[in-house]
Structure formats: structure tokens, C-alpha cells
Structure 1
Amino acid sequence: MTSLFDTVLVANRGEIAVRVIRTLRELGIRSVAVFSDADADARHVHEADTAVRIGPPAASESYLRIDRLVEAAVRSGAQAIHPGYGFLAENAEFASVCASAGLVFIGPPASAISLMGDKIRAKETVKAAGVPVVPGSSGSGLTDAQLADSAREIGMPVLLKPSAGGGGKGMRLVRDSSLLGDEIAAARREARSSFGDDTLLVERWIDRPRHIEIQVLADGHGNVVHLGERECSLQRRHQKVIEEAPSVLLDEATRAAMGEAAVQAARSCGYSGAGTVEFIVPGDDPSSYYFMEMNTRLQVEHPVTELITGIDLVEWQLRVAAGEQLPFAQADITLTGHAVEARICAEDPSRGFLPSGGTILALNEPQGSGVRTDSGLSVGTEVGSLYDPMLSKVIAYGPDRPTALRKLRAALAETVTLGVATNAGFLRRLLAHPDVVAGDLDTGLVERDAESLVDAGVPVEVYAAAGLLAQAGLERPAQGWTDPFSSASGWRLGGEPAWTAHHFKASGQEPVTVRVRAGEVSVDGSEALPARLSTSSDGTLTVEVGGLTHTLRHHGEWLGRDGDAWHLTAYDPVAATLTGSAHSGADALTAPMPGTVTVVKVAVGDHVDAGQSLLVVEAMKMEHVISAPHSGTVAELDVKAGATVAMDQVLAVVTPDEEADGE
């Protein structure tokens, strides 16, 4: 058997770095982490055998610096570099430089990365190999006018896609041909920001499609197998949020045909290592599948494939890179049970899924009994806007799909990231959506029903916060010694603490009973859920219950007596500012999230129309357009392109037209 490496450098951060380090440890391979100044105390740094600083916080000066990564590998005695995903994982130059430095790049050859990284060349290559492709534009380097002409020729709606990169960055669905100019410009801008390449292509949009991808594994001896498919149709803004394996859509014949197409796609580019071939599939005709792209790296959702096949993909990336031959053939691959994964991201569904941030004050990440959490978090982790918003992944496995879904919902309810708002609660509700439960999925489902999946009215978190506050008031110790038998904490000798009931009445709502005991709440007879509360000096409360973080600002006293019940006197969920137009009649436009102003389209004195885009703010690789709330004149403009802004910072002021004032 070929000898494995002694030392491997992991050229990444966060949960994927921790995940790769775990397999390195199991194989007895010394791990080297790298970190920017922002990650000096990060979990992946502590879990590695050694760590090397590679630069300041900005990714462009650290995780994207090929020279510094290679220098760190050489200096630490590493023989190989694992790129993870994101950053430089699909960068052909990185793979080439590693080879020139005598380092093994744990991934495919640079030639395969280059070929499949160019979506235009990739489509032409796999088409020649007999793989069906989506109808679209041909040729690279198309101008804006040529892209628009191709879109009109194909017929609306169309999808604009960057030729480089992946992960949904820069993708734009265009249904109205009159918007092509603005959408092409926005797609180029985001592609340039994310991948350093603004080349675009255009493809026919398939309504209500399903996104099915095939995991392939190839060695350097000509052996290629596929490990079944993953269903990735639950997406928001072209970003996957829930993935599962296998897909309920495919029968055995279709699975075999798509698997063989994926194998041929891998062979067509001389692939080796772990890779994924992505297909778009009409939901009403699974046999009509089309190649979209090939991701020449490990996928975020690789754990669901690992759980149903029993194959550690990171281990086989390492073994293939070391020259080993695959010991199994296609007939040896079996799919057993069902696995589902949820991506936990630093975003606030109640604020239109805008990126969030803060310090992790308390953390609970479920593991065991068919549940796995891949995470880069620890208590004290600072979550900012510099890097991707994905914090962790919760994965559940069961003998069948209903069991896996049930386990994942339960695991999300136990997930706590106090201090940073996440989408965990939203995902838990999504998993209970009737169409999700039935397996009737398509890539537009989340966008269509997102509003119904976000809490309305008085959130459970508000009642939980009130109950925890009331309980804290009862338990507040007096000066000196306190008789435990007179404590209102629910303490009992030799037993579990008893529940303490608190009754609340919010304006316009029916009375609610909240039962509280150490670390748990139950609202109106609901199942007991883990709950934690923290307060800050400015009167802001952060509560996490059932996997959902909620931030509340209160004015004066929260709780006042109303007969036998506490009355919620003054709770105020922190205001959401999605765009300037979210507050019609408001003159000031504020930043919806901490980030960087990338585009300023107006100047002081300009007249603007209602809904006109004025600025673009970017954070965590996501663009947010700030639009005029009404027709008027730009009276103030407080930022310029490149400026870093804080959440709710005033960016501009638009004074309404006199006519608008009189309406």
C-alpha cells in the first residue's frame, strides 16, 4: 500500500478546516492550520497540531494569498495541501504552484480544474463526451450586448451565470428582457468580486427544476466510480440550504444513467480525487436531465454521501492524492438509509435573511445517535462580515427519509448559538413544510414560501425571554446566606428542579403560560426546549430557544403586573431595514447589515425615482441594493465606494418631492 503523508496543511478555515483536521487525526497525519489575524483564536487553529499566521483579516491578504500558503506549507514541513472548499479550492494556479514547490495538491490536476472551472469550455467538453447539456449561449468573452442577444434568442426567462466559480454567486434569474442590462452588470460585478473573473454565460431557465448532483471519485490509475446522488433543490438565492441523499425523485434506472453520465464527465477532463457533477432536472420528467457544471473539489454537503455509503471522502481524497488505487468498483457501492443536512448560517430571517454577526456566548451542537454536526465554532468566536456566513452543518441519518427528517428537526431544536442570529429555526420549520415532507421539491420552493416560514406575531422567543427574566427576578439571591428551601428556583432535594409557571399577556394576544426551569422553557404546553438569555448594558436582550436566536431591545421595564399575569409592556424586536424602500416615507437610507459599500450610483443633488437603486452594500459575499424610498432629491450622501459601514448607519438622505409630500 502507498505510504500516506506525514504532514498536511489545510488551506482553509471554519467548519471545513475542522472537518479535514478530524480525518487527518484519525489517520495519524500531522495537521497544519493557517489563520488570519481575525482567526488567531479560532477553533480550527486550536484543533490542529500546529498553526501558521498568513496575514491580516482580509481574505485577499491571507486565505487567498497563494505565496503565503505555500510558504507556510514549506516552513511547517507539510508534504501536501488540502484546500477544503471555497477560497482557492478550485484555483488552477494554486494547484500548479503547489506542484512547482514540490507539494501535493489534494485535488484534481490543474488542467481539470481549469477546464471545468470555465463553464463554457466545460459544457462543450462534456457535450462531446455524450453528456446532455442545458441549451444556452456559446463561446466565451461575450459582451453585454451579445449576452443580451443570446438571452432573447433563447427566450425568457434565462439564467445569467459566471463562467468561473460556483456556489450560486453572481447567478441572476431574468424574466423581463428590459432588465437584462442591469442584471448583466450586477452579475459581472458579483462574479468579479467573488472570483476575479466577470465572464458570463446565459442558459435557458427551466421552471420548477430540481437540482440533483452526483458524487464521483477517481484515482490516478483510470478508475472512476460514482457514489450516488444528492438532492439539493431546497435553495434560497441559488444557495443550497438543505441537502439530502438519496433523492426521492430518481428510480434505479435514472440513478444509473445519471451516474454513468457523471463518470463520463469526469473522464472527459482527466479527473482524479473527489468531485461533483451537477445536473438540472425537470421535476415532471426526471429522465430529461442536463449537465450544469462540475465542482472540482469537496462539496459542502459531502457528509450525506458519507453517511449513506460509509465512505470517508476526505480520507479517499488523501489516499488518491498519495497515489493509492480505489479498492472498490461501481458494483461494490451501495446506498443504505437516508441522510439530510442543514446549513447553519449567520443570517437573520426576521430581517430578510440579512447577514448577522456577534460573539458566540453559549454553544450547543448536537452529536451522536444518528446526528452529526460539522462546525468551526466555539464559545467566544467572533462572527464578522469578512468571510462566508455558513457557520456549521447539522446532519441526520436514519434507516429511511421520515426518520432522518425527524432527527434533523429535533437536532436543530437543540442547536444553540447564543449571541449570533442564525437560520436554524427557519430550517426547522422548512423541514416540516408539507411539500418537503412529501419530497415534492423544486429550486423555487423556499423563495415562494419563505415568508410563511418566518415567525409572525409575538415570537416564542419573546415569551421565552420574558419567562427567563421573570425567573431570574425570583431567583436573584439576597445579600448573604440564602435558605435553599425558600428559593423560588424550583430546587428539590435529590431530584430534578421543578417547573415554575409564569403567566403573560401581550397586547392583542391571548394569555400565555411559560414554564421555566434551569436552561429550559415550555411555552403554552409546547415541548420543552433549551433556552438561554443574555443581557447587554444598552438594554438589549439576546435569547435562543429551539435553535433560533432573537435579539430584542426594550424600553423601561419589560414586565408589569396585570392581575395574576405579567403584562409584556415594551418589547421591540430590533427593527429590520431591508432597503431604503422598506420604510416608505422615511428620508434616511441606512445600512441593512455591516459590510462594504461597493457601488455608489448617485451624487448629492441628483433627482431619483421611487425604487431607483442608489447604492450597493456587500457583506459575506452577498450584495444588497439600497433603493430610493420615494421620488426626490439626494440631500445627503455620507459614503463612497469602498467605505466600511455598520448596521443601521445612515448612508444617504432623499428629500421627497413636494408632490410626494402632498399625497
Structure 2
Amino acid sequence: MTTHNIHTVLVANRGEIACRIIRTLKDQGVRSVAVYSDADADAPHVRDADIAVHIGASPARESYLVIDKIIDAARRTGANAIHPGYGFLAENSTFAQACADNDIIFMGPPASAIETMGDKISARAAVEARDVPTVPGISRPGLTDEEIIAAAPEIGFPVLIKPSAGGGGKGMHRIEDPADLPEALVTARREAAGAFGDDTLFLEHFVDTPRHIEVQILADAHGNVVHLGERECSLQRRHQKVIEEAPSPLLDATTREAIGQAACDAARSVGYVGAGTVEFIVPAARPDDFYFMEMNTRLQVEHPVTEMVTGHDLVALQLAIARGEELPIRQEDITLTGHSIEARIYAEDPANGFLPTGGRIASVVKPEGPGVRVDSGITDGSEISSLYDPMLMKVIVHGADRAEALSRLDRALANTVVAGVGVNTDFCRFLINVPQVVAGDLHTGLLDEVVDDYRVSDVPDDALVASAMVWLAQRWPDQPGSAWAIPDGWRPGLPAEQRVRFAWEGGSSLISLRGTPAAAEVTVHDAVAGLTSEDEAARAEPRTVSATVHRDGDSWRVTVDGLTRHWQIDAIGNGSTPETVVSSDEGTWVLRQEHVARSRADEDADGDGTLASPMPGTVIALSAEPGTRVSAGDAVLVVEAMKMEHVLRAAHDGIVAYHCSAGDQVPAGKALASVAADD
């Protein structure tokens, strides 16, 4: 067979997968071409590529999904091959055929294989002809509701209604009671037609406590097909994967070889060429009874875990296959070493029902260390839009065994920061520490079972103390001039107490400091939201420590009660609520900070009792009626700032007078109320 010289590859995708493909192309000495929409003009994949071509407006349907624009970009740049990545046009048979029609090498399977495997009914028929096991069910084109209902009792309840076209869980319904089946079929057809333009359905037996296990295959044009082991993808929500690992903790060597050969047979059933993934559903209690689910005719999001345990670059192998070369590896050459786990970092808010987030990223901190890899499509200043997939990056680790991999992933996630946009990093840490996950006792419904136990992680007191000491040091003059010109609370005698509030997703703490950077007393006030009862009790009383801080090269040396630690503390924002990234060997956190103005009630309990806004915010409640009497410690009003509520309380007994109304936007230091002492 003739081999081809691939000199220029256009990557018909964006984000982290485009960056990852371009990285291998550079390693292979192949020129890379990026395409981009208006929204991605300054995206990392555009910067990484040798050439970049603008292909249209921001919506994907006007840019990344327009086949003619992609083909035109390839022609204009002299690209003789196109890598589709995943998503967009990666599994579009019309796109694959358009490449062939224009003498451009498509770095994927033949259009016929995409078409067959893209329809679940035809895919099932194809693999069954190769004796690949499938879930008991009924699947043929044109099934009516009546035929499906008639077949259901023999298949056995519970059953799963599935659309023939598409994926991602749309149109899928689990049915326990036969009486619910007719109505569910009507709903499923409507959903399938709306999502895929095709309301064809089929029915399968629902596998109890199912595990999602997939096998990576490679096939060349010379008839060679190999598998590179399996990946476990059972930790998912709404049929979207969150954590993936290789190998699966469920399979033994015998089952691994059997499922691997079944995957190779599935690829052979459609004359597959390229990299692909065959997905199986596996009963947790009976792993020998694995069943074909579908084939993804492209590179998968989770392919890095396979690369980590096999040592093979899948994109480099795709390139060799696309050139027409024989696979440089045989089945006996492939071994699995150690364990790898990947966490997908999504722009979403797990504490708020996983609602999508967005905005401009202020800072990205990527973890480093032995066995750590990051595939990312974002950088400082990236704008995250709802127009595209919410996955921003992937954190992948490798360890000698699963326990080491889990430990390394937890540490890597602790040192991963995407500031300015809400992400699921903290939730991923929670998930990989769930006892069932640690034990490898997984199934596709596990995440939904444990999600209600999730609480946003606390920031350690030591990180807050270190941040406060650095804040104090940065405000303290190296060469004091006029004491009256420096806003540091200085007065004759000793410096006044300074206050700073740090807030983060899920909590905040008020820190008070007395003294200098060389010798200060630091008190951590305020318990944070979402703590367990024991944690709450531990934080109920303010904690006061002795601390010092010194600049030590690029880091800060902070000593707290005689224990010294080095901290990296960097400013990443400015304005009314600047942010800092604080990190040590314990982890990394993003804190919003605000200098808290002191009220006159703080200065003198016998004074006029003025209560000032501690920071810019909104008055959301007046807690007493004007002119009424309050006692010391009573709530007077509530200010919301940095997504947290701050209660201002009376310093002494007296009569309340308000200088604001509920709903007012107020600056820091504004007098909001006063409590006049009465006799």
C-alpha cells in the first residue's frame, strides 16, 4: 500500500484537544494549522499553531461546524491532512467524505465506518455478526411503539429505551413498571426527534449496577487491529464523564484480554481504520458478562490515561496510520504499567446544582510534580463562553498503583487554580475521596448517590494567617516617613488593630492583626459556611496566634506559633475586591480580600456607636425598627459583599438611627447606622 507524506495538518477543533494535537504535531516535525471563530481569536490553540485561519462568527454552527469553511482553510494553507479532534465534526461521515473528495487525508476512520457505528441499531447488528456480546433487547429500524411494548416482557424489566441516533443520554429512559412504558416511548421519541432529527428507538434490558468500561483500539489499513487496554468511566453525571482511569479496578487479566479482543472484533466488523473506542456496559457483580454499548469513532477525551499506562502517544500513532504505514506495535508489545486517573475540569458550580459558569479567567495555576500531566485549553485572560463545551482542562496523574495515583490526583487538584470562573476542582477532590471510589467499588449511578454529601472545602487557618501577614507586610513601609501619611492604622504608642476579610467560594473569615510584620498577634474570626458539626465547634471561638513574616526570594517565610512555612502568595486582581493566590505544600487557594474599615463603635465603646460598612456591598436588611432600643451584640443591619452576608452589631445598649435603606449600594467605610447610648 502507498504511504503518504503528511507535511501539514489542520486541526478542526479548539480548546484543550487542539492544543494537545498540536503538541504532538510539533514533536513529529509536522506543520500545524489552527482554525478559530471570533470568540477564539486569542485562544491558546491559535497561539500554539504554526498558522491560524479565521473561519467565522462565534457560534459553532457558523464556524467550527461549517464543512466548507474547514475544507477551504485546508486548501488555503496547503494542509494535506485534517485531524478532527473530538466533538464538532469528528464523527460526521459527510465531513470525512468531503475530505476524501478534496484529496485531503482524514485522520479518522472511513466514512462508512462512522455511518454504521453512528447508528446504534446498525452498530449492534454489525458487532453481533462478529459474535460481540450485546445487551438483550430488540433493535431493528422502524420499530413501532406496539412492537417495543410487546417485546419488553421477554427482554425483562427494568428496560432502557434508547434512541438509535445520537448520544449523551438524550432520549434515554429507564422503565421499571410496564405500565409506564407507553408514555415513556412517546416522550423518548419527541426528545430524540428534537435532539437528533430522528425518532427511531430500540429497547434493551437495563443492566443492574452497571459499570462503564471502554477499550482503546488502533487499526491500520493493512488489517492489523490492536487494543491498548481498558478505561473505567463509571464516575459520571447525566451521562457525562467526570473521572476516568486505566486500567479498571474491576477486571482481572483474563477478562481484560476477552473484552479487548471483543473490542478488536467490533472494529473489524466495520473495516475500521484509525483510533477508536469501543464502549461496554459491565455488571458490577458479573464482570465476565460484558456487553457492547457503542463505538466512538474518534479519539476520546480520556485518551491520556491510556497513554500514561502504555507509554504510547495515540496522536503519533494516528499520524502513522494516516500516512498508510503499518502499526509499529503488535498486541504482544502492549503492556499496562501502573495506574492513571484523569479529572475533567468543567466551568460549573457544583454547590449550585452544577449550573454552568463563565466569564474571564483571572489566573490559571497548573499543578506540577512526579506523574502529573495537564491538558489545557485556557490561560490567564481566557474568556469562557456558554457557546462551547464547558470542559476547560484535564488533570491527569500516573502512579505505581491505584492508591498512589489517587493520592497524586488529590494533591494535583489541590494545587490547581482557575480563578475568576467557577469550576468543579473541589468537587473532583471530594469525589475521589468517597470511600466507595477509594475502594474501586464503582457504578454509573454512584456520583448521583453521593452528590448531596458534597460540601465546599474549608481554607486552613494557616493559609488565612499567612495571607493576612503578607497583606500586612505589603502595607508596611520599608522606610517609614510621615506616620500620618501611611494608611496602616498607626498611632502614638502601638499600631491599631488592622482588619482584613478573606472570602472564597463557600465561606469567609475576618482576620484582625495587632503589631508589625516582625511581631504580630493574628486572630481568625468567623466560622465558615458548610462545615461539619465538629469543624463548626472547633471554629466557634476565635483563634489567636503569634506570627512573623519575611520576604524570602520569590516566596514568603511565615512563622506561626514557632512553626515556619514557606508560602507563595501572588496578587491576581485589583480594584475594590482584589484576589490573591496562596499556596504551600498543603494546597492552593484563591482568596478575595478586603480591608475592613473600623467603625467608631470599635474605637470607643462609649462613643456614638457608628456602624460603618466593612467593605463595598449592598444593604440587604435593617434588623431593627428606627428609634427602638437594642442591646450590645444585637444585629443592627446586614451588608452583603463578596457573596457573603456580614452582620453589623451594636457595640453597646442604645437607640438605633439608620443612615441608609435596604437595597442601598454602599462604599467601604460609609456610616450606615448609629446606636446612641441611653441612660
The alignment's TM-score, normalised by the length of structure 1, stands at 0.75
Partner of 2:345: 344
* Match runs of 1:448-487 below 5 Å: 448-455=449-456, 460-461=458-459, 470=468, 474-475=472-473, 477=475, 482=480
Partner of 2:218: 217
- Separation in 2, partners of 1:79, 1:345: 34
- Separation in 1, partners of 2:292, 2:342: 23
1:188-217 CA distance string (max 9 Å, x none):
566556555454333221121111111111
1:437-461 CA distance string (max 9 Å, x none):
1111111111100111333xxx525
Partner of 1:67: 68
Offset of residue 331 of structure 1: 1.3
Offset of residue 382 of structure 1: 0.7
In structure 2, the residue corresponding to 1:120 is in which secondary structure? helix
Partner of 1:613: none
- Separation in 1, partners of 2:124, 2:39: 39
Partner of 1:320: 321
In structure 1, the residue corresponding to 2:88 is in which secondary structure? coil
CA contact (8 A) 2:363 2:572 kept: no
1:94-139 CA distance string (max 9 Å, x none):
0001100110110000000000111111011101110110122312
Partner of 1:645: none
Q: Which amino acid aligns with 1:295?
A: N
Q: Which amino acid aligns with 2:525?
A: F
Say if 1:24 and 1:294 are closer, same or farther in 2 by CA, change over 3 A. same
In structure 2, the residue corresponding to 1:450 is in which secondary structure? helix
Partner of 2:416: 415
- Separation in 2, partners of 1:200, 1:470: 60
Q: Which amino acid aligns with 2:127?
A: V
- Separation in 1, partners of 2:232, 2:363: 32
- Separation in 2, partners of 1:497, 1:205: 66
Say if 1:467 and 1:325 are closer, same or farther in 2 by CA, change over 3 A. same
- Separation in 2, partners of 1:500, 1:379: 36
Offset of residue 328 of structure 1: 2.1
Partner of 1:158: 159
In structure 2, the residue corresponding to 1:52 is in which secondary structure? strand
Partner of 2:23: 22
Q: Compare CA radii of gyration and give the structure with the larger one.
A: 2
Partner of 1:587: none
1:557 aligns with 2:632: no
Q: Which amino acid aligns with 1:140?
A: P
Greater CA deviation, 267-276 or 167-176? 167-176
Offset of residue 237 of structure 1: 1.4
Q: Which amino acid aligns with 2:541?
A: P
1:292-328 CA distance string (max 9 Å, x none):
0111100111011111111110111111011010122
Partner of 1:82: 83
Give the one of 537, 540, 550 matched to 1:510. Answer: 540
* Match runs of 1:620-635 below 5 Å: none
Q: Which amino acid aligns with 1:323?
A: G
Structure 2: 5+ residue stretches without partners? 489-497, 501-516, 529-535, 550-554, 597-611, 617-631, 645-679
In structure 2, the residue corresponding to 1:85 is in which secondary structure? coil
Say if 1:465 and 1:399 are closer, same or farther in 2 by CA, change over 3 A. closer
- Separation in 2, partners of 1:24, 1:460: 42
1:231 aligns with 2:229: no
Partner of 1:311: 312
- Separation in 1, partners of 2:182, 2:560: 51
Residue identity over aligned pairs, in percent, reads 54
- Separation in 2, partners of 1:19, 1:115: 28
CA contact (8 A) 2:466 2:567 kept: no
- Separation in 2, partners of 1:47, 1:55: 20
1:527-553 CA distance string (max 9 Å, x none):
999777777878798989857779999
- Separation in 2, partners of 1:570, 1:522: 34
- Separation in 2, partners of 1:522, 1:88: 56
- Separation in 1, partners of 2:180, 2:104: 47
- Separation in 1, partners of 2:246, 2:271: 26
Q: Which amino acid aligns with 2:83?
A: H
- Separation in 2, partners of 1:313, 1:435: 31
Greater CA deviation, 527-536 or 324-333? 527-536
Say if 1:60 and 1:412 are closer, same or farther in 2 by CA, change over 3 A. same
Greater CA deviation, 38-47 or 467-476? 467-476
Structure 1: 5+ residue stretches without partners? 490-495, 576-663
- Separation in 2, partners of 1:68, 1:523: 60
- Separation in 1, partners of 2:582, 2:123: 45
* Match runs of 1:469-618 below 5 Å: 470=468, 474-475=472-473, 477=475, 482=480, 501-506=522-527, 510-511=540-541, 513=543, 556-557=613-614, 574=643
Partner of 2:334: 333
Q: Which amino acid aligns with 1:202?
A: L
Partner of 2:138: 137
Greater CA deviation, 410-419 or 159-168? 159-168
CA contact (8 A) 1:357 1:420 kept: yes
Q: Which amino acid aligns with 1:106?
A: M
Q: Which amino acid aligns with 2:10?
A: L
- Separation in 2, partners of 1:341, 1:15: 14
1:273-309 CA distance string (max 9 Å, x none):
1111111111111111100011110011101111111
Say if 1:415 and 1:187 are closer, same or farther in 2 by CA, change over 3 A. farther
In structure 1, the residue corresponding to 2:138 is in which secondary structure? coil
Partner of 1:445: 446
Offset of residue 45 of structure 1: 0.6
Say if 1:186 and 1:472 are closer, same or farther in 2 by CA, change over 3 A. farther
Partner of 1:585: none
Say if 1:512 and 1:288 are closer, same or farther in 2 by CA, change over 3 A. farther
Partner of 1:639: none
Partner of 2:431: 430
In structure 2, the residue corresponding to 1:275 is in which secondary structure? strand
- Separation in 1, partners of 2:301, 2:559: 34
Partner of 1:299: 300
CA contact (8 A) 1:552 1:574 kept: no
1:392 aligns with 2:393: yes
Partner of 2:206: 205
CA contact (8 A) 1:419 1:549 kept: no
In structure 1, the residue corresponding to 2:95 is in which secondary structure? helix
In structure 2, the residue corresponding to 1:12 is in which secondary structure? coil
In structure 1, the residue corresponding to 2:411 is in which secondary structure? helix
Say if 1:174 and 1:550 are closer, same or farther in 2 by CA, change over 3 A. farther
Partner of 2:507: none
Offset of residue 177 of structure 1: 5.7
Partner of 2:363: 362
Partner of 1:604: none
- Separation in 2, partners of 1:146, 1:413: 53
In structure 2, the residue corresponding to 1:393 is in which secondary structure? strand
In structure 2, the residue corresponding to 1:166 is in which secondary structure? coil
Offset of residue 31 of structure 1: 0.4
Greater CA deviation, 163-172 or 313-322? 163-172
CA contact (8 A) 2:231 2:306 kept: yes
Q: Which amino acid aligns with 1:276?
A: T
CA contact (8 A) 2:470 2:556 kept: no
Say if 1:529 and 1:250 are closer, same or farther in 2 by CA, change over 3 A. farther
In structure 2, the residue corresponding to 1:397 is in which secondary structure? strand
Offset of residue 153 of structure 1: 6.2
